[in-house]
Amino acid sequence: MPASGSSGIAPERLLALYGVSAAINSQHDPDKLLDEIMDQAIALLHAQKGLILFFGDRKGKLSVKVARFMEAGIDMNPESMSRTVISRVAANGKPVLMSRVSDLDAEDLGQSMVAHNLKSILCVPLRTRNEALGVIYLDTTLEERFFSEADLNFLEAFANLAGVAIENARHYREIDDLNRNLELKVEKRTEQLGEKNLELTRAYDELEEAQIQLVQKEKMAMLGQLAAGVAHEMNSPLGTLNTAADGFLRGSRHIAVALEQGDEAGHSKAIRVSTSLANMADVTQLACRRISEIVNALGNFTRLDEEELKTVDINEGIKSTLLLLANRYLGRVEFTVELSDLPQVRCRAAQINQVFLGLLVFSAENLGEKGSVRITSRAAGLGIEVRISDDGPGLPQEKLTHIFDPAFTTTAGRVGMELGMPLSLKTVRDHGGDLRVDSQPGAGTTFTLSLPVGE
């Protein structure tokens, strides 16, 4: 007896439908898809046998596409399976549930139902959005398994999903065929353009090499700025040491001569020279201390022996960078430093110090003739924050949005300074932090660097 099934589907079966939908929609081969649909239907409804039948060229004529667990020698003609069920569903497009075949009147029984000892039958139409495809048929010969109204509802919902999946697979096959044809055309065209592609490849390699050289140039520019700062810083105390060394030599000779005289005047002169040498020794100590500070700052800045992540004091990196850089802008840039107590940060110190150098150079170079740069640090949440602000002319919005692009430039002919921006951003992000920039014309520019403390 036919049934349309108006009751709802249980939540657990809705979940099963969801899983089935994902499984069948992931299969794009039409033939394999039909096998998957048949296997899923039999497994989910605990049927013993199943068929998927499609309409042929002649309207109403069905042919078997997939058959499961049919007895050996059975005729695959659907009429021999169940004329009263399959033909009825194919003709009127309505589902059929025969829960207990044994309860049917004799006139409703088909010969195949009796011959195959069928106990329960389900059959539903299979269609896409635009056409009827055929039917899905299930049956069982087990006394303990009778299909229910809920089973019919479930199979109808399953058939709807199957129809969508079949339509999608067909579209996929059509697209795949179009792609194959397109690939053939592209392959032919590629052969014709082979030489040009080689030229493009060479051009790309040259561009990549140029980019590497530009990055290397930026690094060398940074090293040049660092070397210039160190040289300038070292010249003053070295000059003091040279002068002191010369004074010591001459003073020692004077003392020797004075002592040889052996009189009171010579003794008095020796005392005066000795006093001068003592003062000179103090100056020499100050010069040596200055050189030591510069060497320590250089060591803190580079930390060449600490390429691995280590816990460091970020404030020390800022101080070292400023010490090495300040003389480059002496008399033109006023650096103001306000550093708060910070937690130790786990990072690659040399890389972070290079970021500080790049940002400080950027700010100083964009001041114009004269100006000031303010550096502050503070603890922020689970990390630290460093701000570098200048009182220069600022950047217009169209340049501000591209400041971290590799091709960005603020001044014609000066490449190194601008290349440092994308490298700085990458370095900070590689450490799990962030680098932001705020600027307005006439209001200066502020870089905000944030880093997590790390483990």
Query: Region 83-100: what's the mean pLDDT?
Result: 86
pLDDT in tens, 108-125: 566 667 667 788 889 999
- Residue 70's CB is within 10 A of a number of other CB atoms, namely 16
pLDDT at 175: 85
- Residue 193's CB is within 10 A of a number of other CB atoms, namely 13
Across the chain, what does the average pLDDT equal?
77
Confidence of residue 3 (pLDDT cuts 50, 70, 90): very low
List the CATH code of the domain at 296-452: 3.30.565.10
Distance CA 69, CA 71 (A): 6
Give the CATH H-level superfamily of domain 11-182. GAF domain (3.30.450.40)
Distance CA 431, CA 352 (A): 9
Confidence of residue 237 (pLDDT cuts 50, 70, 90): low
pLDDT at 421: 80
Strand order in the sheet with 434-439: 333-339, 371-380, 383-390, 445-452, 434-439
Residue with more model confidence, 162 or 295: 162
How many residues are recorded in the chain?
A: 455
Quote the distance between the C-alpha of residue 176 and its chain's center: 30
pLDDT in tens, 343-378: 999 988 888 888 898 899 889 888 878 899 999 999
Burial of 56 (0-12, 13-18, 19+ CB in 10 A): exposed
pLDDT at 434: 93
Residue with more model confidence, 162 or 72: 162
Q: Which amino acid is at 156?
A: E
pLDDT in tens, 399-426: 888 788 765 454 443 434 444 688 888 8
Percentage of the chain with pLDDT > 70?
Answer: 67
Q: Which amino acid is at 282?
A: D
Q: Are 245 and 281 in contact (CB under 8 A)?
A: no
Secondary structure in 3-state letters for the chain:
CECCCCCCCCHHHHHHHHHHHHHHHCCCCHHHHHHHHHHHHHHHHCCCEEEEEEECCCCCCEEEEEEECCCCCCCCCHHHHHCCCHHHHHHHCCCEEECCHHHCCHHHCCHHHHHCCCCEEEEEEEECCCCEEEEEEEEECCCCCCCCHHHHHHHHHHHHHHHHHHHHHHHHHHHHHHHHHHHHHHHHHHHHCHHHHHHHHHHHHHHHHHHHHHHHHHHHHHHHHHHHHHHHHHHHHHHHHHHHHHHHHHHHHHHHHHHHHCCHHHHHHHHHHHHHHHHHHHHHHHHHHHHHHHHHHHHHHHCCCCCCCEEECHHHHHHHHHHHHHHHHCCCEEEEEEECCCCCEEECHHHHHHHHHHHHHHHHHCCCCCEEEEEEEEEECCEEEEEEEECCCCCCHHHHCCCCCCCCCCCCCCCHHHHHHHHHHHHHHHCCCEEEEEECCCCCEEEEEEEECCC
Percentage of the chain with pLDDT > 90?
Answer: 16
Query: Region 18-39: what's the mean pLDDT?
Result: 84
Q: Give the start-to-end residue ranges of the domains of the chain.
A: 11-182, 296-452
Confidence of residue 432 (pLDDT cuts 50, 70, 90): very high
Q: Are 356 and 412 in contact (CB under 8 A)?
A: no
